[in-house]
Amino acid sequence: MGSPRDAADLPGSSQSSVVITSQGAPVVAVVNRHQGPGAGNEALSCSGISQGATSVSLPLVSNMVGGWLTSVIAQNASAPTTTVTAPFVSLDGTRTASLTRTVAPGRPAVIDPRFESSLVAGTEYTVALTAPSAIAVVANNHNDLPGTVAPMGDSHNGVAAALGSAYLPYIAKNTDGVGQETTLSVTFRNSGATTWTKGSAHQARLGVNGDDRTFSFRVRRVRAGTFSLHLRPVIDGIAWMEGEGVYMIVAVR
């Protein structure tokens, strides 16, 4: 375990990327980020990525919707310098924008929607980042701008392109106010080659490859604590999608 605070060769008030290698034995890595102590306490966590991909999807990128901002970090996981292309499409399909980044080996590139003129504030997007060589992608979701009473955040890895189904199984949400209601959402992307349409053997209503659907629902917070909310997708009129492991961790304060 290591902390940048204890590394004399890492300057303060800075951000870095890292490539971890091991001689003779496999290793796993988890990144834990903290802000605090005090009223602004916040923590985000994501897994280290052992292998990159040339196409990585983020089904939901928020540009200041309900106070939420998603920053996207793409790291070059290959030896040569590469060009990352990020074609953004709004969830309603009415807005598009294409961004590019040139990234040296092992280095990161950051996309902050607030500073991209082609990404409209108050809009939620989906994006599939591509590159000629392997990249690793992480999304950091924040609701913590100055003046926010109860800062919130979550972090997750991008989903690499897959021949079959690919799922983002863990979403963390922090909510305030016992007895109040809140809206939770989860977005699924069809990353396969088969179009899912009504009345077919693949009836899940996710359309063509790269299509997204967001499902929103209301929940009431009955008491303080941390709860696991399991979400079970269904192919209409055919079968439940078993064992996909999609769930939310909901923290009520």
Are 178 and 250 contacting, i.e. CB atoms less than 8 angstroms apart?
A: no
Domains delineated in the chain? 36-161 (2.60.290.11), 162-253 (2.60.40)
pTM: 0.67
Which one is predicted more confidently, 169 or 91? 91
Q: How far apart are CA 128 and CA 89, in angstroms?
A: 9
What is the tens place of the pLDDT at every residue in 198-250?
Answer: 666 555 555 555 566 777 778 887 787 777 777 777 666 666 665 455 667 77
Calculated CA dihedral for residues 96, 100, 105, 109, nearest 10 degrees:
-70
Which one is predicted more confidently, 159 or 112? 112
Report the range of poorest mean pLDDT among 47-51, 85-89, 234-238: 234-238
Closest residue by Cα to residue 20 from 57, 61, 75? 75
